[in-house]
Amino acid sequence: MKVTIYTDGAARGNPHGPGGYGTVLQFVDAAGTLHERELSAGYKKTTNNRMELMAAIVGLEALNRPCQVDLYSDSKYLTDAFNQHWIDGWKRRGWKKADKKPVKNVRLWQRLLAAMEPHQVIFHWVKGHDGHPENERCDRLATAAADGSCLLEDDLDES
């Protein structure tokens, strides 16, 4: 099954202001019918990078069977971690970057890796705020969630 996931994260007053993520999942069935699902949530205090990761995580966790996934994000932090193989080095070095400093958001990276496990995922970077319809849609979802009144707590103290 082939699924396309579009993601975006937002944070007001980054770092440590309110933030949110937006995710759109798309699947075309055998009859050619497009099925879509939107996911979003807002957090009281977070960072843009955490929201970019959460957008990808919730999209992948929403899948209920192994899929071929094309995941689109305007976050180089997310896409380069896989396309430039940074994550392989981080894991090999015990979640340390090349400069020996600790990788931030380790638990989210680990959750993302677990969510990816049953799937074949290809990460695609798209330029943000450049008129890409699904990226703009995800941005609207993320910013609306960040500006919402039912904000969740984020564990900013995690390593």
Tens-digit pLDDT profile for residues 91-143? 999 999 999 999 999 999 999 999 999 999 999 999 988 888 999 999 999 99
End-to-end CA distance of the chain: 35
Pair 75, 19: CB distance under 8 Å: no
Torsional sign, CA 78, 80, 82, 85: negative
Positions marked active-site = 8-9, 52, 74, 129, 139
The CATH classification of domain 2-146, taken from the options 3.30.420.10, 3.40.50.720, 3.50.50.60, 3.10.110.10: 3.30.420.10
How far apart, in whole angstroms, are the C-alpha atoms of residue 76 and residue 59?
18
Would you state the pLDDT for residue 158? 63
How far apart, in whole angstroms, are the C-alpha atoms of residue 114 and residue 61?
9
Residue 159 has pLDDT above 60, yes or no: no
Pair 6, 72: CB distance under 8 Å: yes
Q: Where are the domains of the chain?
A: 2-146
Residue among 125, 152, 148, 156 nearest 58 (CA): 152
17-62: pLDDT as tens digits: 999 999 999 999 999 999 999 999 999 999 999 999 999 999 999 9
Query: Per the annotation, where are the binding residues?
Result: 8, 52, 74, 139
Cis bond leading into 15, ω under 30°? yes
Query: Per the annotation, where are the binding residues for Mg(2+)?
Result: 8, 52, 74, 139
